[in-house]
Amino acid sequence: MPTEPAPDDIKAHSDVNTVSTLPPTTGPTLKDLTVIGVIIVGVRETSVWLMGLWDHAELGNLCGLFLLLGVLILLRRWRGLPVGWVNANALFMREGALAFLPISGGAILMLGLLGAELWPFLVVLVISTLMPLWIYARLAQHGLRLR
C-alpha cells in the first residue's frame, strides 16, 4: 500500500505543469528564516574565504551558488528539501532587490553620462531584448506542443 508523502518533503509533491514545486501556503516561520539565512551566509562566506586563498575572491559568490546547489540536490535525493526552507528563501529572493539598489542608483547616473552613445545604446537594448523574447516564446510553444 502506498504511503502518504511527508508534508514537509519537497520531493514528495508533484504539480503538473510546474517546474518549481509547492506554492507557498503559509508564511515562513522564524525558525526556517533563521536556518536558511545561516546556511546562505555560511556557504557564501566560506566560499569567498576559500576562493580568497587562491586569490580569486571575486569568484566566491558564484562558487557559493554552485556549492549550495550541489549540496541541496544531494539533500533532496537523500531526504527531501523542507518546504519551509523554500518558502523562507522565496521571501529573501523577493526582497533581494534591496541588495542591488545602491548600484542601480549609479545606473541612472550612467544613462546621463552616455552622451553620443545614448541612442545606439538604446537601439541595441530594445532589439536585443524584444527579438529574443518573441523567438524564445515561439520556440518554447512549439517544443512544448510537440510533447
Partner 1 sequence: MSFNGWLQATPTWLTLLVAYAVTVLAYVLGRVLNQRLPAIPAIIWAVLLLMGMLAGLHWPYAYYLQRVQPLFDHLLGYVTVALAVPLAAMRLDDLPLRMMTALLTFASVTAVLLPVGLAYVLHLSEPTLLAYTTRAVTTPVALNIAAILHAPAALVSLIVILSGVIGAACSSILLRKIDDERAVGLALGLAAHAIGTVQAWQRNPVAGRFAAFGMAVNALLTAIWLPLVYLWWFKTR
Region 46-105 residues binding partner 1, contact defined as CB under 8 A:
47-48, 58-62, 64-66, 68-69, 72-73, 75-76, 81, 85-86, 89-90, 92-93, 96-105
Residue 96 neighbours by CB distance under 10 Å: 9
Contact between 12 and partner 1 per CB under 8 A: no
Nearest distance, CB of residue 3 and partner 1, angstroms: 19
* CA atoms of 19 and 59, how far apart (whole Å): 28
Grid coordinates representing 54 are 587562491
Grid coordinates representing 1 are 500500500
Contacts with 37 (C-beta within 8 Å, 6 or more apart), sequence order: 88, 92
CA 25 distance to own-chain centroid:
20
* CA atoms of 86 and 146, how far apart (whole Å): 32
Site residues for partner 1, 108-137, by CB under 8 A, read: 108-111, 117, 120-121, 123-137
Contact between 31 and partner 1 per CB under 8 A: no
Grid coordinates representing 39 are 546556511
Nearest distance, CB of residue 1 and partner 1, angstroms: 23
> Which listed residue (19, 26, 53, 78) binds partner 1 by CB under 8 A?
19
Nearest distance, CB of residue 34 and partner 1, angstroms: 14
Contact between 38 and partner 1 per CB under 8 A: no
